[in-house]
Amino acid sequence: MTLTIHETFLPQDDPEAATAFYRDTLGFEVRGDVGFQGMHWITVGPAGQADVSIVLYPPQATPGLTDDERRMVAEMMAKGTFASLNLASSDLDALFARLQAAGVEVVQEPTDQPYGIRDCSVRDPAGNLLRIQQAR
């Protein structure tokens, strides 16, 4: 039996901005855009990894959330404390330069960490923290 990672979910509150960031800035493929009642679930992923995807979802569509919980999610997204994703790049410094030139919010410039990796961190348009490390 094989167990793999298929999809992970990140919240987004602006489908156009999310699509532009993940497609145009990061270079991911858009694999799907499903709309329902004015909301969009956008599936993106890296070229060459068709079996791994990120679903950018509208958090307000989460079943069972109360109005107070929706407000809390929106506040946490705005602060960048609700969701995060770790990525890897074959050329971290070149990718960071491209992200910086595109005006992406930088949290941490490329840094050699004491635990043996070199990484940086940025935020996507919804505030999600993306940590990107130099691929080994």
Q: Which tens digit of pLDDT belongs to each residue from 10-47?
A: 999 999 999 999 999 999 999 999 989 888 999 999 99
- Whether 135 and 27 have beta carbons less than 8 Å apart is answered as no
Domains of the chain in start order, with CATH, are 7-134 (3.10.180.10)
**pLDDT, tens digit, for every residue of 91-129?**
999 999 999 999 999 999 999 999 999 999 999 999 999
Place of tokens 């990061």: 26
The one-character DSSP state at 95 is H
Give the C-alpha distances (Å, rounded to integers) separating 24 from 114, 119, 120. 32, 21, 19
